[in-house]
């Protein structure tokens, strides 16, 4: 009986609305999955929001690829679910319910999940300028004119990095060092006893 009702919904009330919801659902779902598989590839554009001037007041809309894809999934899913109900007779109401449900869920996910994650990411990874002068310990001996590894702590987080001596001398395992500069992801250090 349910399948007949869905079939009647499509035949009698227009297939265009159902197809719209299905396309939005599957497109959004595919883009979300692609975003998770490829990591932050869609964040390379640097588009993190939209500033709009409304009667002299600046309004910031936190639009990004993940939120737009999530909205598309919710919009399409809610519309698809409500199509076989009596709301399918009122296409405009069905559209608004799906639209605002997608908007509400996107806002909640942005506030409760995405913003805290972005804030945590920004506070945990230091800038290269912050690392100059930071002290660390050699975890793999640095041979003369060769590469080793150091471990340093900044903002309560421990990091390891490939390292090389600034003057080309050997630095022993366990020796304390200071970071002088970073070039091509290699940390150039000097032993504290050499300072």
Q: Domain limits of the chain?
A: 2-124, 128-194
Q: What's the confidence (pLDDT) of residue 2? A: 44
Q: What's the confidence (pLDDT) of residue 11? A: 47
C-alpha 142/C-alpha 48 separation (Å) is 41
Which tens digits make up the pLDDT trace of 133-166?
Answer: 999 999 999 999 999 999 998 877 788 899 999 9
Q: What's the confidence (pLDDT) of residue 6? A: 47
Comparing CA positions, the residue from 18, 121, 118 lying closest to residue 67 is 118
Which tens digits make up the pLDDT trace of 115-139?
Answer: 787 777 656 667 778 889 999 999 9
Q: What is the mean pLDDT of the chain?
A: 80
Least trusted range by pLDDT, from 10-24, 34-48, 80-94, 175-189: 34-48
C-alpha 108/C-alpha 17 separation (Å) is 26
Architecture of domain 128-194: Beta Barrel (2.40)
Apex CA 56: angle with CA 50 and CA 57, to 5°?
50
Comparing CA positions, the residue from 191, 139, 183, 184 lying closest to residue 165 is 191
Range 102-130 burial, b when 16+ CB lie within 10 A, else e: beebbeebbeeebeeeeeeeeeeeeeeee
Which tens digits make up the pLDDT trace of 26-47?
Answer: 999 998 888 777 765 555 555 5
State mean pLDDT over 81-108: 87
State mean pLDDT over 76-84: 91
Comparing CA positions, the residue from 180, 127, 177, 125 lying closest to residue 149 is 177
C-alpha 58/C-alpha 160 separation (Å) is 42
Other beta carbons within 10 angstroms of residue 49's beta carbon come to 11
Q: What percentage of the chain exceeds 70 in pLDDT? A: 76
First-last CA distance in the chain? 84
């Amino acid at each position: 009986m349910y399948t007949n009702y869905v079939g009647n919904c499509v035949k009698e009330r227009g297939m265009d609305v159902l197809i719209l919801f299905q396309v939005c659902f599957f497109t959004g779902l595919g883009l979300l999955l692609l975003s998770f598989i490829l990591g932050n590839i869609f964040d390379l554009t640097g588009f993190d929001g939209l500033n709009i001037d409304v009667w002299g007041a600046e309004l910031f809309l936190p639009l990004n690829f993940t939120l737009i894809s999530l909205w598309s999934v919710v919009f399409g899913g809610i519309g698809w679910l409500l199509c076989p109900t009596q709301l399918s007779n009122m296409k405009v109401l069905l559209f608004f319910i799906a639209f605002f449900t997608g908007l509400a869920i996107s806002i909640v996910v942005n506030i409760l999940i995405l913003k805290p994650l972005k804030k945590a990411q920004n506070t945990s990874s230091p800038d290269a300028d912050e690392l100059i002068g930071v002290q660390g310990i050699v975890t793999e001996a640095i041979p003369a004119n060769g590469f080793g590894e150091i471990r340093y702590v900044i903002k309560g987080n421990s990091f390891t990095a490939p390292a090389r001596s600034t003057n080309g001398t050997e630095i022993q395992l366990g020796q304390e060092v200071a970071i002088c500069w970073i070039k091509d992801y290699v940390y150039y250090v000097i032993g504290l006893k050499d300072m």
